[in-house]
């Protein structure tokens, strides 16, 4: 496998940040670092510098954190300090200016108001089925193939894929937001309260920069389908993102990650025009890639493989004992 990043999102601590699908504890993060091999993980600035010179070794890894989440500061950053590591943090700057991504508010709602993600999906599709979008969504689902949709992300269940297809393809951002607002109101919740403490503050972003972490672009408002936006809107997302980070840190960002792995040739061109040197995808699908499409492995895949290996080892031990 070529040099790549390891991608992280959510963390939990049993207090401020609840556990949920895809979240890690501090102990699990430390275990993953040890599993990967501390010696393989480069300081983020060194990884980027080597990538720029095309001097990466196949074994070189870089830790990356997406979406500007407060749980990363509270749970993951202390673990990195213990290991003497720095990482690349991809910042959605709108989250620090009252334009936090819809996805995080909805995730918190899902975690705190439903017993399981399946319960949430049932409530979501029940409300959808009673509304004006039901017929159009049903037509869109007639050609839906869960095995091929988001195939680069094997940790998604069929239900996950169906929900994301409806959210991003059948409904789109505005109709999805209306539906979720209705569902949130039906439970008596307040989106502003759900958003409280979800994202980093500008002071924490500045502190990460001072500690030597790399801060990179991740759009201003985190649209889930950047590639479908007009070129002018894509440029605005990344230009606003760049200017905010530059203002806070005094350093022009040269690194980025594509939100939801969505980008087009126009996206890559405008990023080069903004002076971005290194970019990351969200999976390992491309063997040959440009400087703005470095692969990343989602930590969830590493956990699945670790558990599979542990299970095989346990079965082999049991078989040997029975003999």
DSSP string of 64-91?
Answer: EEES-BHHIIIIIHHHHHHHT---EEEE
Same domain, 204 and 300: yes
d(CA 240, CA 219): 8
Consecutive 10-residue averages of pLDDT for the chain (323 residues): 94 88 93 95 98 96 97 98 98 91 91 92 95 94 92 89 95 93 92 90 97 98 95 97 97 97 97 98 91 95 66 38 38
Same domain, 251 and 182: no
Among 175, 195, 215, residue at a domain's last position? 195
270 in a structural domain: yes
Contact 158, 168 (CB under 8 A): no
pLDDT reported for residue 319 = 33
Q: Which two tokens stand for residue 322?
A: 């029975």
pLDDT reported for residue 306 = 62
Among 178, 195, 212, residue at a domain's last position? 195
Query: Which residues, at least 6 apart from 171, have a Cβ–Cβ distance to it below 8 Å?
Result: 133, 137, 179
Residue 124 domain boundaries: 102-195
User: Distance of CA 121 to CAs 111, 118, 166, 175, 256, Å?
Assistant: 12, 5, 11, 17, 32
Same domain, 95 and 108: no
Q: Is the dihedral of CA 39, 305, 154, 123 positive or negative?
A: negative
Same domain, 203 and 293: yes
- Unique residue bearing structure tokens 């040739």: 265
Among 195, 219, 253, residue at a domain's last position? 195
Same domain, 150 and 221: no
Same domain, 212 and 300: yes
Q: Number of folded domains in the chain?
A: 2
d(CA 7, CA 65): 6
316 in a structural domain: no
d(CA 297, CA 245): 25
Query: Which residues, at least 6 apart from 322, have a Cβ–Cβ distance to it below 8 Å?
Result: none
Q: Which two tokens stand for residue 74?
A: 């509270």
């Amino acid at each position: 496998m070529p040099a790549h990043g390891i991608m992280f999102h959510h963390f939990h601590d049993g207090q401020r940040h609840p556990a949920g699908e895809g979240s890690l504890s501090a102990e699990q993060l430390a275990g993953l670092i040890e599993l990967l091999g501390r010696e393989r993980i480069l300081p983020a600035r060194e990884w980027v510098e080597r990538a720029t010179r095309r001097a990466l070794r196949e074994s070189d890894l870089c830790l990356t954190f997406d979406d500007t989440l407060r749980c990363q500061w509270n749970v993951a950053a202390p673990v990195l300090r213990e290991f003497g590591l720095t990482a690349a943090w991809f910042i959605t700057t709108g989250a620090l200016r009252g334009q936090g991504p819809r996805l995080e508010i909805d995730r918190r709602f899902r975690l705190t108001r439903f017993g399981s993600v399946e319960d949430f999906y049932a409530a979501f599709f029940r409300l959808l089925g009673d509304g004006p979008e039901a017929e159009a969504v049903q037509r869109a689902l007639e050609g839906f193939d869960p095995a091929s949709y988001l195939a680069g992300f094997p940790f998604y269940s069929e239900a996950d894929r169906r929900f994301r297809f409806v959210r991003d393809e059948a409904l789109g951002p505005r109709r999805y937001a209306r539906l979720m607002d209705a569902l949130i109101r039906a439970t008596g919740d307040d989106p502003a309260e759900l958003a409280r403490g979800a994202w980093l503050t500008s002071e924490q972003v500045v502190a990460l920069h001072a500690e030597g972490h790399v801060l990179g672009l991740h759009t201003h408002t985190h649209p889930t389908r950047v590639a479908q936006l007009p070129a002018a809107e894509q440029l605005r997302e990344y230009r606003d993102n760049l200017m905010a980070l530059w203002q806070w840190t005094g350093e022009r960002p040269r690194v980025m990650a594509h939100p939801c792995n969505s980008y087009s040739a126009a996206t890559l061109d405008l990023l080069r025009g903004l002076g971005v040197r290194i970019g990351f995808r969200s999976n390992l699908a491309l063997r040959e890639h440009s400087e703005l499409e470095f692969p990343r492995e989602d930590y969830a895949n590493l956990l699945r493989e670790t558990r599979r290996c542990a299970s095989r080892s346990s079965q082999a031990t049991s078989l040997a004992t029975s003999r």
